[in-house]
Amino acid sequence: MKLAVCNEVFSGWSWQQVCAFAAEQGLAGVEIAPMTFAESVTDVPPARRAEIRRVARDNGLEVAALHMILFSPKGLHTNSADAGKRQKAVDYLKALIEFSADIGCPTMIYGSPPTRRLDAGLTYRQARAYFKDSLLKCLDRAAAARVTLCIEPLPGDCTELFNSVEAALGFVMDVNHPNLGLMADTKAMSTESRPVADTIRIFGAELRHVHANDTLGVAPGFGTLDFRPILQALREVRYDGWLSLEPFHFRPDAESNVATSLRYLRAILADLDAAQGAA
């Protein structure tokens, strides 16, 4: 399991500052919100893309994933009843795939709940069909760029599409494309009917990426989630992908919360390792 942190956590920091901090914390990667570089990635020139890749590499880091991918530009909607809006989203997803490949990032996380809400009058099935059609228009491009798009299940108060890991997995299995995968967020999983650790044990083999996020959107260890059974379950299913910290709220500041959270997670991982070694 590799640890990463999301770059938008460090508001106002340069990419170099984020990478330096991540390296100092002993992280293996950083996850990028594209909007932190430009409103549209089409405005990020090749030289800047190369620089993003180089700075990460120079700090001994990988770019773990892109997330918050459709938070900007405004007006993107993959399952809109409006064909024009859907096409705009498809075009931008393709641009993101190119951006992702250019900065050496193999994974794109599709959470972005506002862009997958149900338009008034659409049934789930209709919206799902539009969503599927939009993704299918992008996935061959993703394959060519060696990028995998991962669906992020989110709670029902965020979006109507895919409110559980199981629902998202059903969709991923239905699309059945090697460049479409499943990821999970610990906070989102905590809203499901079953314990987070159970969800991981049942569906963990399908997970390509995991966001570590505590209740109320704080960093792991600052909310009410107990990460011991969560990390234990990830170990049990031999999850070896990214565990990426994605907190939204901090007190007093992001860097101290991230550092504390990492100590919390690493202490659990060390305990689990020790227990496994003893066994």
Partner 1 sequence: MKLGFTTLGCPEWTLEQVAANAAACGFDGVELRVADDGLHLRPDATGDEARRVRELFDRAGVPVFALCAYASFSSPDPAALRGNCELTRRLIALAGTLGAGAIRCYGGKFADEERHAVAARAAAALKPLAAEAADRGVAIALETHSYWARGADMMEIVGAVDSPGLGVVFDVNNTFAGTGEWQETYRLIRPRIAYCHLKDDYRGADGRRHHVMLGAGDLPLADVLGRLKRDGFAGFLSFEWEKRWEPRLAPPEEVFPQYVHKVRSVWNG
Binding part of the chain for partner 1, among 103-111, 112-120, 189-197, 260-268 by CB under 8 A, reads 189-197
Please list, in sequence order, all residues whose beta carbon lies within 8 angstroms of the beta carbon of residue 67, skipping any fewer than 6 positions away.
6, 31, 32, 33, 108, 109, 111, 152, 211, 246
Beta strand 62-66 pairing with 180-185? unpaired
CB of 232 to partner 1, least distance (A): 10
What is the longest distance spanned by two Cα atoms in the chain? Answer: 60
CA distance 186 to 246: 10
CA distance 90 to 135: 7
CB of 168 to partner 1, least distance (A): 8
Site for partner 1 in 36-75 (CB under 8 A): none
Closest to partner 1 by CB, 171 vs 222, is 171
Closest to partner 1 by CB, 75 vs 155, is 155
Closest to partner 1 by CB, 111 vs 204, is 204
Which residue's structure tokens are 């199981």?
Answer: 166
For the residues of 145-204, what is the DSSP string, one character each? HT-EEEE----TTT-SS--SHHHHHHHHHHH--TTEEEEEEHHHHTTSSS-HHHHHHHHG
Q: Calculate the alpha carbon distances from 96 to 19, 116, 223 in Å.
A: 21, 17, 33
Is 194 among the residues that bind partner 1 (CB under 8 A)?
yes
Site for partner 1 in 223-262 (CB under 8 A): 229
Closest to partner 1 by CB, 114 vs 156, is 156
Beta strand 2-6 pairing with 242-245? parallel
CB of 197 to partner 1, least distance (A): 6
- The contact pattern for partner 1, residues 145-184, with x = CB under 8 A and - = no contact, is -----------------xxx-xxxxxx-xx----------
Q: Do the beta carbons of residue 236 and residue 244 sit within 8 Å? A: no
CB of 125 to partner 1, least distance (A): 5
Is 202 among the residues that bind partner 1 (CB under 8 A)?
yes
Q: Among residues 195, 217, 228, 272, which is the contact residue for partner 1, using CB under 8 A?
A: 195
- The contact pattern for partner 1, residues 77-116, with x = CB under 8 A and - = no contact, is ----------------------------------------
Instruction: Determine how many CB atoms are found less than 10 A away from the CB of residue 37.
Output: 18
Is 125 among the residues that bind partner 1 (CB under 8 A)?
yes
Is 197 among the residues that bind partner 1 (CB under 8 A)?
yes
CB of 160 to partner 1, least distance (A): 9
Determine which helix (DSSP H) or strand (DSSP E) holds 64, and give its type and residue range.
strand 62-66
CA distance 158 to 70: 14
CB of 166 to partner 1, least distance (A): 4
Residues in touch with partner 1 (CB under 8 A): 123-125, 128, 162-164, 166-171, 173-174, 192-195, 197-198, 202-203, 229
